[in-house]
């Protein structure tokens, strides 16, 4: 009898541990899964990294994750069809087809307003130091949109308005972290220059080199970088008033090493811009190709259907990138990790395996951001960052996340 009780207790303990493990595992899956997925019309719902999950449809039918649905509906994902994991909305749409880029392009942006990159004291005629901008409540990283009701597009114009104030208050409209407010700037007459000063440094434009990720061959809308363009001094996302994409030739490469990121070096080529840049978002820099550029690129670039995020899995992949001249080459890579739940620019961890790229660049270098990633004949995403501790590895963003803002 005593033995029987011990067996029962042991079995109960084992069952309890088993349920704890199962429900703990279910919690892990829940944290790794998105709340909504899009599936190509007429295709099965597939979670490439989680084949062990099953779906329960609205009619309470337990089916494999590869079950096919129509329209939009709510499904419950469960572990082995037993332990509910997460409710997910399934949408259906035609997978768009994009032309991959991999080509470098020059970025010239004129900001919407001027960005404050630093504050400094001004010495007045009495030898007293003060910072008018700081007194007005302005901080580094703020974007000044208006001055006395006038829209600002240049540093010079702001200084002209401050100089012309003769010490009178200049009314400024300021944006900070999405919030717009007004402040009054009281200029100080500089003892050194005899000019009215606001006590701040501002920037109205920015230039650099990036890689085009992909474009729509029908409309000419394109996206590059896979991450936003940020001000080097403040780290803030640069607001775009207008911009242009210009031809670039890669002339040199600084090889990356552990702890020291490499860099593509190039120069803006002669010739007209091949497109306008109109939006700077967390998922990349967006624009529209000119008619001539669209025709030329469409003839040279390969087209791939876009992979929806849940189709992407760990395993072999390819990237298209330019490390010399103006034309991209294809290199082998490995997707090491996929994060379905992340809406950021770090949805994947990717490792370069191509010996040519490793020998020439050490792996991923600055300037390669935006290089498209292709897996199983579909456009999976683009490289966004390099791991400084290991330049052979870096992060990537899903093409689906970039395509959401393409038009």
Per-residue model confidence as pLDDT tens digits over 11-37: 555 555 444 545 555 555 656 667 677
Rounded mean pLDDT, 329-333: 96
User: Based on the domain organization, do 209 and 192 belong to the same domain?
Assistant: no
CATH number, domain of 150, equals 2.30.42.10
pLDDT (0 to 100) of residue 249: 86
The whole-angstrom separation of Cα 215 and Cα 303 is 9
Name the pLDDT band for 85 (thresholds 50, 70, 90).
low
Query: Measuring CA to CA, which residue among 309, 358, 316 is closest to residue 334?
Result: 316
pLDDT (0 to 100) of residue 79: 66
User: Based on the domain organization, do 7 and 66 belong to the same domain?
Assistant: yes
Q: Considering the chain, what is the average pLDDT of its residues?
A: 83
User: Based on the domain organization, do 231 and 348 belong to the same domain?
Assistant: yes
- The set of residues, in sequence order, having a beta carbon less than 8 Å from that of 65 and lying 6+ positions away, is 45, 46, 47, 50, 51, 53, 54, 55, 77
Give yes or no for residue 89 having a pLDDT over 90.
no
User: To which residue do tokens 């990790």 refer?
Assistant: 337
User: Based on the domain organization, do 39 and 144 belong to the same domain?
Assistant: no
Give yes or no for residue 251 having a pLDDT over 90.
no
DSSP H or E segment with residue 23: helix 2-32
**Residue 113 domain-assigned (yes or no):** no
**Residue 63 domain-assigned (yes or no):** yes
pLDDT (0 to 100) of residue 46: 67
Neighbours of 285 (CB within 10 A): 30
Kindly state the DSSP code that residue 96 receives in the 8-state scheme: P
Give yes or no for residue 205 having a pLDDT over 80.
yes
User: Based on the domain organization, do 248 and 381 belong to the same domain?
Assistant: yes
Burial of 50 (0-12, 13-18, 19+ CB in 10 A): middle
Give yes or no for residue 69 having a pLDDT over 50.
no
Q: Is the dihedral of CA 282, 284, 246, 371 positive or negative?
A: positive
For the segment 224-241, what is each residue's pLDDT rounded down to a tens digit? Answer: 999 998 877 777 888 887
342 or 332, higher pLDDT:
332
**Residue 116 domain-assigned (yes or no):** no
**Residue 303 domain-assigned (yes or no):** yes
Domain with 152, as residue range(s), is 121-198
Domain boundary among 176, 198, 220: 198
The whole-angstrom separation of Cα 63 and Cα 70 is 15
Tell me the catalytic residues. Answer: 227, 354, 369
256 or 393, higher pLDDT:
393
User: Based on the domain organization, do 220 and 178 belong to the same domain?
Assistant: no
User: Based on the domain organization, do 248 and 231 belong to the same domain?
Assistant: yes
User: Based on the domain organization, do 147 and 238 belong to the same domain?
Assistant: no
What is the number of alpha carbons within 13 Å of residue 305 lying toward its C-beta? 12
User: Based on the domain organization, do 34 and 142 belong to the same domain?
Assistant: no
For the segment 106-148, what is each residue's pLDDT rounded down to a tens digit? Answer: 888 888 889 998 999 999 988 999 999 999 999 998 999 999 9
The whole-angstrom separation of Cα 214 and Cα 220 is 10
Q: What are phi and psi of 70, to 5 degrees?
A: -125, 155
For the segment 260-283, what is each residue's pLDDT rounded down to a tens digit? Answer: 888 888 888 776 788 999 899 999
Neighbours of 340 (CB within 10 A): 17
**Residue 234 domain-assigned (yes or no):** yes
From start to end of 9-151, where are the E strands? 36-40, 53-56, 62-64, 73-79, 83-93, 97-100, 104-119, 122-123, 129-130, 143-147, 150-151
User: Based on the domain organization, do 103 and 131 belong to the same domain?
Assistant: no
User: Based on the domain organization, do 187 and 242 belong to the same domain?
Assistant: no
Number of structural domains in the chain: 3
**Residue 59 domain-assigned (yes or no):** yes
User: Based on the domain organization, do 73 and 142 belong to the same domain?
Assistant: no
Give yes or no for residue 58 having a pLDDT over 50.
no
Burial of 67 (0-12, 13-18, 19+ CB in 10 A): middle
DSSP H or E segment with residue 26: helix 2-32
343 or 2, higher pLDDT:
343
- Largest distance between two CA atoms of the chain: 102
User: Which token pair is 376?
Assistant: 């199983």
């Amino acid at each position: 009898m005593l033995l029987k009780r011990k067996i029962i207790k042991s079995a109960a303990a084992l069952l309890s541990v088993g349920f704890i493990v199962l429900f703990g595992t279910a919690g892990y899956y829940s944290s790794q899964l998105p709340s909504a997925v899009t599936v190509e019309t007429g295709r099965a719902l597939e979670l490439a990294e989680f084949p062990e999950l099953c779906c329960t449809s609205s009619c309470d039918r337990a089916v494999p994750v590869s079950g096919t649905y129509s329209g939009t509906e709510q499904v419950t994902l469960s572990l082995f069809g037993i332990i509910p994991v997460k409710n997910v909305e399934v949408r259906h749409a035609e997978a768009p087809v994009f032309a991959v880029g991999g080509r470098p392009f020059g970025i010239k942006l004129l900001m919407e307003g001027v960005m404050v990159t630093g504050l400094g004291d001004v010495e007045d005629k009495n030898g007293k130091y003060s910072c008018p901008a700081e007194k007005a409540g302005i901080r580094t990283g703020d974007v000044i949109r208006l001055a006395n009701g006038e829209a600002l597009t240049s540093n010079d114009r702001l200084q002209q308005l401050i100089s012309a104030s003769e010490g009178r208050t200049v009314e400024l409209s300021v944006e900070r972290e999405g919030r717009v407010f007004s402040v009054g700037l009281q200029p100080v007459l500089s003892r050194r220059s005899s000019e009215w000063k606001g006590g701040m440094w501002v920037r109205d434009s920015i230039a650099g080199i990036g890689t085009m990720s992909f474009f729509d061959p029908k409309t000419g809308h394109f996206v590059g970088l896979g991450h936003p363009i940020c001000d080097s001094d403040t780290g803030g996302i640069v607001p775009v008033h207008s911009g242009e994409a210009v031809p670039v030739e890669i002339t040199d490469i600084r090889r990356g090493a552990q702890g020291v990121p490499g860099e593509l070096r190039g120069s803006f080529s002669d010739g007209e811009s091949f497109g306008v840049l109109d939006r700077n978002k967390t998922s990349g820099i967006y624009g529209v190709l000119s008619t001539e550029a669209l025709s030329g690129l469409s003839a040279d670039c390969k087209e791939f259907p876009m992979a929806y995020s849940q189709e992407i899995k760990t395993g072999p992949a390819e990237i298209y990138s330019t490390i010399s001249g103006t034309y991209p080459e294809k290199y082998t890579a490995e997707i090491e990790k996929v994060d379905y739940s992340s809406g950021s620019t770090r949805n994947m961890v990717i490792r370069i395996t191509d010996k040519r790229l490793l020998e020439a660049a050490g792996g991923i270098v600055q300037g390669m951001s935006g290089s498209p990633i292709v897996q199983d004949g579909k456009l999976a995403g683009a490289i966004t960052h390099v791991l400084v501790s290991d330049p052979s590895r870096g992060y990537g963003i899903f093409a689906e996340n970039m395509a959401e803002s393409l038009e």
